[in-house]
Amino acid sequence: MEVVIAPAAELARLAADAVEGLLRSNPETVLGLATGSSPLAVYDELATRHKEGLSFARSRAFMLDEYVGLPADHPERYRNVIEKEFASRVDLPAGAVQGPDGLADDLPAACAAYEASIQDAGGVDLQILGIGTDGHIAFNEPGSSLASRTRIKTLTRQTREDNARFFGGSVDDVPRHCLTQGLATIMSARHLVLLASGRAKAEAVHQLVEGPISAMWPATIMQLHPHATVLVDDAAASRLQLADYYRQTYADKPTWQGL
Ligand code: F6R
C-alpha cells in the first residue's frame, strides 16, 4: 500500500494523473466512481483535462453504491450526483456509467445483475474511493463481510449523520438503506485509489493503513490489495504512526514512477 501525504490539490492531480495515464494507454479503460466530497476535486481536474483534450469517449464507468428508494429525479440520488459532478462534464457516452438500481422492484436481482455487468466489462481498472468516518468504503459499514459482493446494506446512524449535510442537514431525510458493491467486488478492481481529507477521517485512515484487518474497519481489507494507493492531506494523516516514513518514501520516489 502506498501512502501519499500532500495538500488536497496535489492529491487530486495525482489521482487524475493515474486516470489519465490509463486512458492514454487504453482508451477503453473501465473506471470505478465514488460519490461524496472526497473525489470532487479529482472530477474537477479530469473535467479540466477533458477540455484540454483528454477523452473518455471509449471508456465506461461503474459506480460504487446507490441509495435505495430515492426518486429518479432526486438530486442526491448517486446516479444524478455522478452525472452532474463528472459524466456531464466529460465525453462519456450516454449509458457508459452504470450503477446499482436502487429503485428496482427486486433489489437482490438488481445486485446480482450489477455484479454480472462489472464482470462482463472485464472488471474495473481503477477504482476511486472515499472513506467514511466509521471506516466504510462504498457503503460497507462496520461488520460487513470481507468477502461481500453487491448487496443491500443498512446505513449506520453515523453515516446518515455524516451525509445529512447533503440533505439540508436533516438526518431523517437520509435513506436508511443502500445497494453497495461488496468488499470483494471492490478488491477485484486492479488499482484502488482512496482519497481522504480532514481530521474527522484521521482515525479511519490510521486503521485502514496501520490497523489489524477487521470487519470492524472494513477499509482495512485494502491492506490485502496488491495495488492500493491512499492519498491523504495532513489532517487525515494526523494519526498515522509511520507518517514520517510515508513522507520520506514519497519524497524519495523516482519522478518517473506514477501511482
Ligand atoms: C460514496 C461512498 C462512500 C464515501 C464516504 C466518504 O459513493 O462510497 O464510501 O466515499 O462516505 O464520503 P465523503 O467523501 O463525502 O466524506
Per residue of the chain (259 residues), give pLDDT as tens: 999 999 999 999 999 999 999 999 999 999 999 999 999 999 999 999 999 999 999 999 999 999 999 999 999 999 999 999 999 999 999 999 999 999 999 999 999 999 999 999 999 999 999 999 999 999 999 999 999 999 999 999 999 999 999 999 999 999 999 999 999 999 999 999 999 999 999 999 999 999 999 999 999 999 999 999 999 999 999 999 999 999 999 999 988 888 9
Binding site membership of 32 for ligand 1 (Cβ less than 6 Å): no
Length of the chain in terms of residues written: 259
Binding site membership of 136 for ligand 1 (Cβ less than 6 Å): yes
Grid cell 492519498 is found at: 231
pLDDT at 255: 83
User: Which DSSP category does 88 fall into?
Assistant: G
Binding site membership of 38 for ligand 1 (Cβ less than 6 Å): yes
Tell me which residue has its CA closest to atom 8 in ligand 1: 138
3-state secondary structure of 254: coil
Grid cell 470505478 is found at: 32
Residue 172 burial (CB count, 10 A): 8
pLDDT at 256: 82
Q: Are 152 and 176 in contact (CB under 8 A)?
A: no
Output the pTM of the full model.
0.97
Tell me which residue has its CA closest to atom 2 in ligand 1: 138
pLDDT at 73: 97
